[in-house]
Amino acid sequence: MIGSFLRGRKIAVLAGRPSGSALIHYLVRHVSVDPHDIRVFYLDGSPTAGIGDVEGSTCARRRLNQKDVIKACAGTDYIFT
């Protein structure tokens, strides 16, 4: 049920912790969300090895600020933090 709800939607994941990569893998592997529909927003220097095997859009930033977060989330249907 959740798969049909999220497939084809644009999703932003504000990652930076292992839970972010776990969520991304779950969406891709179990919900069948197209990885290109997921934008990953994380702090520059954060470990990204956990999502290195998932193709998609990533957006590294040196610091979190309102302008960057709004830009990273523009055009998305759902945001996971």
Domain coverage including residue 24: 2-80
Q: How many beta carbons lie within 10 A of that of residue 14, not counting itself?
A: 19
Tell me, what amino acid is at 59? Answer: C
Report yes or no on whether pTM surpasses 0.95. no
Residue 30 belongs to domain with CATH number: 3.40.50.1100
Tell me, what amino acid is at 1? Answer: M
Q: pLDDT tens track of the chain, all 81 residues?
A: 567 788 888 888 876 566 777 888 888 888 888 888 888 777 666 665 556 666 665 555 555 677 877 877 788 898 887
DSSP letters for 38-62: EEEEEETTS--GGGTTS-SEEEEES
Q: How many domains does the chain have?
A: 1
**DSSP-assigned beta bridge partners for residue 11:** 38, 78
